[in-house]
Structure 1
Amino acid sequence: MTDVLDQWLPDPVIRSRHRRAAEATPEALWEAAKSVRLEETRRLGRLVGWRIPGVRGEQTYHELFRAYPFNVLEESDERLVSGLCGRIWTLARDYPRLDGPGAFAEWDEGGTVRVAFAHGVEALEDGRAELWSEARVQPVDTSARLRLKAVWAVVGPFERLVGAEPLALAARRAETA
């Protein structure tokens, strides 16, 4: 899992990881994960709606990570890697439109960050499947690093409560399908 984002953001200032196992096949767990809607996750869904322009509650996270302001960086049958760039600490919600993975990799506008998200599923040796999610944030310069650290000091303590919410829902859904 961790190797997935190494090519996009090898030296992040912030890294967030979540995992959730389920009594399901990898295919069933991935399908369940792709079906989770923002409105089904109270904390994270509201936060995303507040921070990302144009999102709708009935939108799935899978759809969210495939549309502006995100860019699909890579995708396969068992994972999705997306990224966005900009000033994530402002209320402006004015993320730049990037023209694909190359633009994300080359992004270097001062006072901004690059953020990469990877979500996927893998088979476990005991016959279960595990859904995983990782986010990394890398500032472009010192100014962005300072702003990012200030925001993370406030937001970071709550990340564990918010970030795992969609994974738990997907695991329950896969197990009852």
Structure 2
Amino acid sequence: MKRERPGWLIDCWLGQGARLLERHETFVAVPQEAAAEAIQQVTLAEMPAVRLLFWLRGIRHSGQQTFRDFFSTPPFYILEDEPTREVVIGTAGRLLRPRAFSSPAELRDYAEAGTIKVIANFRVDAVEGGSLMSTETWVQTYGRRASWRFRAYWLVVGPFSALIRREFLRVARRRAEQAQP
């Protein structure tokens, strides 16, 4: 299901047949720019549960890395970025074996049989009384086997992904609120 929402950068990266895996959001009573800055500054050190999950999964990281830095490091790529509004990230390849790409456009156009593409975002929208911080994760599978394998994988990984996203938004909200006078 591809959605087209005016101004949403992620929608340009979703191919036909992309499925929404998860969406999380939180309200924070600060201006959009302050909320966006908080999202940019969250570090992995502020999220011990996330660091533990990364360690258990064998994902290399540093506590001082910002979430943005983490998602700028292969196998992840920043696909599009408007710092005060939305950052779009992605990865693609065979399940648990992501592929290297030379550019965001190459990742966007990638559609090899037997593979998957995961696209996610972190977004801030101005709303009455503050800002709405949100994150979405979408998947596109290429072929029945890739779809079946991904569904089995997501049954196990999905709850942990949700925990990571909710923790990230909680920490970003706390950062934004503490930065306000």
Per the TM superposition, whether the score is higher than 0.5 is yes
1:156 aligns with 2:158: yes
Structure 2 unaligned segments of length 5 or more: list them. none
Equivalent AA in structure 1 for residue 144 of structure 2: T
Q: Distance in 2 between matches of 1:52 and 1:33?
A: 24
Deviations 1:82-126 (A, max 9, x none): 1111233x3xxx422111121112212232210111112111123
Is the CA contact (8 Å cut-off) linking 2:28 and 2:173 kept in structure 1? yes
Deviations 1:59-104 (A, max 9, x none): 111111222112221111321111111233x3xxx42211112111
Q: What are the equivalent positions in structure 2 for 1:127-142 lying under 5 Å apart?
A: 128-142=130-144
1:116 is matched with 119
* 1:156 match: secondary structure: helix
Equivalent AA in structure 1 for residue 89 of structure 2: S
1:32 is matched with 38
2:64 is matched with 58
* 2:98 match: secondary structure: coil
Is the CA contact (8 Å cut-off) linking 2:47 and 2:168 kept in structure 1? yes
Q: Distance in 2 between matches of 1:55 and 1:176?
A: 26
Q: Matched residues, percent identical?
A: 32
Classify 1:96/1:134 alpha carbon distance in 2 versus 1 (closer, same or farther; 3 Å): same
Is the CA contact (8 Å cut-off) linking 2:9 and 2:86 kept in structure 1? no
1:8 is matched with 13
2:25 is matched with 19
Q: What TM-score results when the alignment is normalised by the length of structure 2?
A: 0.83
Classify 1:54/1:162 alpha carbon distance in 2 versus 1 (closer, same or farther; 3 Å): closer
Equivalent AA in structure 1 for residue 101 of structure 2: L
Tell me the number of residue pairs that the alignment of Structure 1 and Structure 2 aligns.
172
Task: Report deviation, 1:55.
Answer: 2.1
Q: Distance in 1 between matches of 2:58 and 2:141?
A: 19
Structure 1 unaligned segments of length 5 or more: list them. none
Is the CA contact (8 Å cut-off) linking 1:74 and 1:81 kept in structure 2? yes
Q: What TM-score results when the alignment is normalised by the length of structure 1?
A: 0.85
Q: Distance in 2 between matches of 1:113 and 1:52?
A: 20
1:147 is matched with 149
Is the CA contact (8 Å cut-off) linking 1:18 and 1:134 kept in structure 2? yes
Classify 1:138/1:46 alpha carbon distance in 2 versus 1 (closer, same or farther; 3 Å): farther
Of the structure 1 ranges 139-148 and 52-61, higher mean CA displacement relative to structure 2 is found in 52-61
Task: Report deviation, 1:14.
Answer: 4.4
Q: Distance in 2 between matches of 1:158 and 1:84?
A: 18
Is the CA contact (8 Å cut-off) linking 2:91 and 2:117 kept in structure 1? yes
Q: Distance in 1 between matches of 2:10 and 2:57?
A: 23
